[in-house]
Amino acid sequence: MPLLTQQIQDEDDQYSLVASLDNVRNLSTILKAIHFREHATCFATKNGIKVTVENAKCVQANAFIQAGIFQEFKVQEESVTFRINLTVLLDCLSIFGSSPMPGTLTALRMCYQGYGYPLMLFLEEGGVVTVCKINTQEPEETLDFDFCSTNVINKIILQSEGLREAFSELDMTSEVLQITMSPDKPYFRLSTFGNAGSSHLDYPKDSDLMEAFHCNQTQVNRYKISLLKPSTKALVLSCKGLTFSSRLECSGTISAHCSLDLLGSSNLPSSASQSARITGNEPPHLAPYHFLNNLCLSLVYLL
Amino acid sequence: MKFRAKIVDGACLNHFTRISNMIAKLAKTCTLRISPDKLNFILCDKLANGGVSMWCELEQENFFNEFQMEGVSAENNEIYLELTSENLSRALKTAQNARALKIKLTNKHFPCLTVSVELLSMSSSSRIVTHDIPIKVIPRKLWKDLQEPVVPDPDVSIYLPVLKTMKSVVEKMKNISNHLVIEANLDGELNLKIETELVCVTTHFKDLGNPPLASESTHEDRNVEHMAEVHIDIRKLLQFLAGQQVNPTKALCNIVNNKMVHFDLLHEDVSLQYFIPALS
């Protein structure tokens, strides 16, 4: 599809958001990871797009896709917000099939005219073009966390393969998942207390899976496992490395960051990151990481 | 009534197996018509099938090196059998590297199509695996409903794109809607459209090519870009596309505006015609 004619430039002026991607899978992979609810809120600024999915005001997942990921990215207004059916959006993004045919890339062009207009998707693969018009809805208020990068007490980086199995085998009869981070043994422990008994999974600080270990204070926090399960499965599946870090005032806020491999793009750094913020017993006052990476996912869990 | 046939050629056996697998995907129950030169797999447009009909034809001499049949009578030298398609394809699964395949009509407590496969084994002795597929003989008076369907004059005739792409797209569209509009014009363009309250999705296939028109005169003044369209049940289209495991040698799509879509495929030497009616 010719994208650089003057006519297109003029047409583009009517859109408050225009974004193009050579490989749509970079977007669909990250959105699949937060797809545990039907609807999502999209929030676009000239820095990038943030897609938020919330569950009953208790769990929040955010996918941050920086402008640099896109081959073309234009936002005409200060910010563009809309609510959209994420299931339908994902069906459209993967219209040419969920599993890629070797050697083929599906290109995406996304256009949004503004409040009240549908989101237009133009997908192209091998000369075949699919046009999708998805109706948007009134954006909902989402929880806003004020994050800053200081006040980190503990930070652990693990290879996610090690956690993948652990998360998929969590004892669901346990109401909570307890995460322990400590400068002394057991260093990093995942515990459940289910019908059959309690189970503890320890990751010693000299384990092969441990990429970095910086713990200053012992912190033990419990999280509702039912809220955690759906999102962590997706989180771990799409990650290459997971970083757990907890902060001072948070009383149990843990950020889990993952690296996602970007597909089919030559001029971008090859990782994206996901971060999960899990809050403990008291309401958090949290600090986010500043990532040099372009794709960032964050999950926030509240008790 | 008599029927005995044998396949010894490996390539013919594989091709016959592929055809049987395709039929099993397209129709749960179908009619097998045996005549001196041909074999047909037929699905007639009863309400039970949702109005879909299928006509698959293969020349027996392209497959069998032995073929003997005797119909119900001398004037009506044909046999019509009703069978569950999956039974045949399952039986043929064992014939993958067989030395020979024999099919014959038998009566073992009930009428059967007996498929016996001669397999090679490690030692020089061979094994024979026999499958008895229950069948129902269709009486002469019902034959008139099972004749080759008349293809109405299409409004648009167009070559189909790569079926795999079509299938991927229709599979995803099925998640969104039950109905689909298939439209095409004489300029080589074919579109698949779905529309719900939430979303509209249109997939555009271009530069497909149209076969030369049969009746030039009636279409002379027609606008080449004018689209002929049909509203169909998306699951029927998906079932048809899912049955095409291999890309056909030739694939044609005929659309009769608002009436039906007719797919005319050729898999090497086997022809398949599939009719999907418009939703009322």
Same structural domain for residues B162 and B78?
no
Residue A272 has pLDDT above 80, yes or no: no
Residue of A nearest to B201 (CA): A132
The dihedral over CA atoms of B16, B21, B25, B26, expressed in degrees to the nearest 10, equals: 0
- Inter-chain residue contact B198 with A135, CB threshold 8 Å: yes
Q: Select from B143, B177, B207 the last residue of a domain.
A: B143
- Structure confidence at residue B78 as a pLDDT band (50, 70, 90): very high
Of the candidates B164, B175, B200, the beta carbon closest to that of A91 is on: B175
Classify A235 as helix, strand or coil. Answer: helix
pLDDT tens per residue across span A248-259: 444 455 555 555
Is residue A260 very low, low, confident or very high in pLDDT (cuts 50, 70, 90)?
low
What pLDDT score was predicted for residue A239?
A: 58
Is pTM beyond 0.90? Reply is: no
Closest CA to A139 of A237, A51, A240, A55: A51
Q: What share of chain B is helix, strand, coil (3-state, %, to 5)?
A: 25, 40, 35
pLDDT of res. B278: 92
Given B96, B112, B143, the domain boundary residue is B143
Give chain B's domain count: 2
* Cα–Cα distance for residue pair B124/A55, rounded to 1 Å: 67
d(CA B178, CA B169): 14
Burial of A198-221, coded b for 16+ CB within 10 Å and e otherwise, reads eeebebebeeebbeebebeeebeb
Determine, for residues B203 and A129 on separate chains, whether the beta-carbon distance falls below 8 Å. yes
**What does A240-288 look like in DSSP terms, one character per residue?**
SEEEEEEETTTTS-EEEEEEEEPPS-SSS-SEEEEEEEE--SS-----P
Give residue A126's region: left, alpha or beta (phi > 0; psi -120 to 50).
left
pLDDT value at residue B254: 94
Q: Quick check: B198 and A92 CB within 8 A?
A: no
- In this model, does residue A287 exceed pLDDT 60? no
Instruction: Check whether residue B139 and residue B264 sit in a common domain.
Output: no
Percentage of chain B surpassing pLDDT 70? Answer: 96
The CA distance from A93 to A130, in Å, is 10
Please state, in angstroms and rounded to a whole number, the distance separating the CA atoms of residues A200 and A279. Answer: 20
Q: How confident is the model at residue A144 (pLDDT cuts 50, 70, 90)?
A: low
Smallest Cβ distance to B206: which of A92, A125, A127? A127
Radius of gyration from C-alpha coordinates of chain A:
20
Q: For residue B229, what are the domain limits?
A: 154-275
**Are B160 and B121 in the same domain?**
no
CA dist., res. A124 & res. A104, Å (int)? 10
* pLDDT, tens digit (0-9, with 9 covering 90-100), for A51-72: 888 876 666 777 888 888 899 9
| Contact (CB<8Å) A125/B165 | yes
For B198, the closest of A88, A96, A130 (CB atoms) is: A88
Provide the CATH number for the domain around residue B267: 3.70.10.10
Neighbours of B38 (CB within 10 A): 14
Query: Would you call A91 and B172 a contact, using CB atoms and an 8 Å cutoff?
Result: yes
β-pairing verdict for B38-43 and B53-59: antiparallel
Asked if residue B11 and residue B86 are part of one domain, the reply reads: yes
B6, B12 contact by CB (below 8 A): no
B181 and B95, same structural domain? Answer: no
Find out whether B258 and B278 touch, Cβ atoms under 8 Å: yes
Cβ-Cβ contacts under 8 Å between A and B: the total is 63
Statement to judge: residues B65 and B11 lie in one domain: yes
